[in-house]
Amino acid sequence: MKPFGIAIHGGAGTIPRDSLSAEREALYLEGLDRALSAGYEVLLRGGSALEAVREAVVELENNPLFNAGRGSVFNHIGSHDMDAAIMCGRTLEAGAVSGISQIKNPIVLAETILKHSDHVMLIGQGAEEFARLHHLEFADAGYFYDEFRHQQWKEALAAGRTQLDHSLPANEKMGTVGAVAIDLHGNLAAATSTGGMTNKKFGRVGDSSIIGAGNYANNVTCAVSCTGHGEPFLRAVTAHDVSCLMEYKGLSLRDACREVVHKKLPRIHGEGGLIATDAAGNIELVFNSDGMYRGMQHSDGRREVAIYKED
C-alpha cells in the first residue's frame, strides 16, 4: 500500500504556556484532533487529497477558536474579510478567494472556483455573486460574532494599531488554518484559510489566498500551507520556494522546509511556520516561533497533535 497522510495547522506565533489556561489548551487540542480526523477519514476510505484538505479546513473554519470562517477576526470597520486558497498537486489547478464577508466556509468557495471557474482568484462582491450562483452556504454577521474577537478588535481600535490574532502583546498567534495531504494514489493537495489581521484597513490581503506564497501543491515536489505574518511570507514566495528548492536544487522536503523557515524568513523578519508533505509521504511541521497549533496523521501509524515546541 502506498503511504498516505495529512497534516494540519491552526496558527503559529509566540504562545507562552502561562497565557493559555489548561481548559483552553484542551479545547484547542480537541479542535485540532477533530479536524485531523475529518481529513484522515477521507484518505482512509480512498478519497482524494483535495477532498481531505477541504474537509479538515472546513472543520477548522467551523470552530470559533481559530481565525478562519466562524472565528475570523474583526477588520477596521467591525466586519470580516476572509481569504482562502486550495490547490491540486496532480493538475496544478487552484482556486482562491479574498475579501469575502458572508460565506460560511471560504475554503468551499475556493474549491468551487477551482472546479467550476476559468479563473484562479475571485474577490469581494464578485466572489460572493459566484458563490450564490453555485448555491454555497451564506451566514449573517451574527454567525461570525465572537466576544473574544470583538474585545480584541476594540482594544486594537482604541490603540490605533493593526495586530495579529492575539490577546496579549506577548501572545502573537498568527491566525491562519491549513492542511496538506497525500492520498492513496500519490496525489498531493494544500488548503489554507484565514480571517486576516485584527483591525486591518485598506483591503489588506495577506499570503493565505496567494498561490505560491501561503499555499502551493505540486505532485512533482510537495504540498505546503503557511501560517505567519503575511507580508514577509508574500515577499519570500514561501510555499513555492520550498517546492523550488526541491525541484531545482534537489533538496529533501525536510531540508527545503528548514532552509526557508529557519534561514530565509528570519532575514526579512518572517515569524511563523508551515506544514508540508511530499510525493514519498514524508510530512514536515516546521516553525521558527515559540509554537504552532498543529497535527499530523500518517498511514504508518504516527499521529500527533501539539502546540508548543517541546511537545
Contact 282, 302 (CB under 8 A): no
Can you say whether residue 105 is alpha, beta or left, with left for phi > 0 and alpha for psi between -120 and 50 degrees? beta
> From the candidates 14, 176, 192, 227, which is the catalytic residue?
176
- Tell me the helices (H) and strands (E) count for the chain, helix number first: 10, 13
* Cα distance between residue 214 and residue 207, in whole Å: 5
Contact 275, 7 (CB under 8 A): yes
The amino acid at 174: M
What phi and psi values does residue 253 have, to the nearest 5 degrees?
-60, -45
Residue matched to cell numbers 508533505:
277
Contact 230, 223 (CB under 8 A): no
Strand pairing report for 82-88 and 173-174: unpaired
CA-based radius of gyration for the chain: 17
C-alpha distances (whole Å) from 70 to each of 47, 65, 96, 105, 307 are: 26, 9, 18, 8, 21
Contact 105, 62 (CB under 8 A): yes
Whether 176 is catalytic: yes
* Cα distance between residue 254 and residue 251, in whole Å: 8
Hey, what's the cell of 244? 523550488
Residues in Cβ contact with 112 at an 8 Å cutoff, skipping those fewer than 6 apart: 95, 130, 131, 134, 136
Contact 35, 29 (CB under 8 A): no
- Kindly list the catalytic residues: 176
